[in-house]
Amino acid sequence: MPIYQYHVIKGNQSVELFEVEQKVDAPPLTKHPITREPVKRVLSSPSLSLKHTSRNEINSLSPDNLKKKGFTQYEKDSSGDYLRTVGNQGPSKISPNQFDHTG
């Protein structure tokens, strides 16, 4: 659902901006949902994220950064086991179907 911006109107001035998630076919609000003051929907440019992730998130989850920060990363292989690909903490392999009964 899209997020629409609204201005609370007092006299000829806009005193507050707030956002509301609404269905596309929903009529615009005419009153603030809480205070019941008059409001007007504002036309604004959409915020689109086509890759659904930012460059900062990609960089922060890179193997080099994870290793530098002391994290360990595992990746699932074709057998269903998880192999350590980053870091040196923890076991080198985790097998979900094996249980360690040593202790």
Cα–Cα distance, 16 to 39 (Å, whole number): 9
Q: Which of 7-11, 70-74, 99-103 has the lowest mean pLDDT?
A: 99-103
Higher pLDDT, 97 or 17: 17
86 phi and psi, to 5 degrees? -140, 140
The amino acid at 3 = I
What are the residues whose beta carbons fall under 8 Å from the beta carbon of 20, sequence distance 6 or more? 3, 4, 6, 29, 33
Domain boundaries, the chain: 3-42, 63-94
Maximum C-alpha span of the chain: 75
The rounded percent of the chain whose pLDDT value lies above 70 is 83
pLDDT at 50: 57
Please report which confidence band the pLDDT of residue 6 belongs to, taking 50, 70 and 90 as the band edges: very high
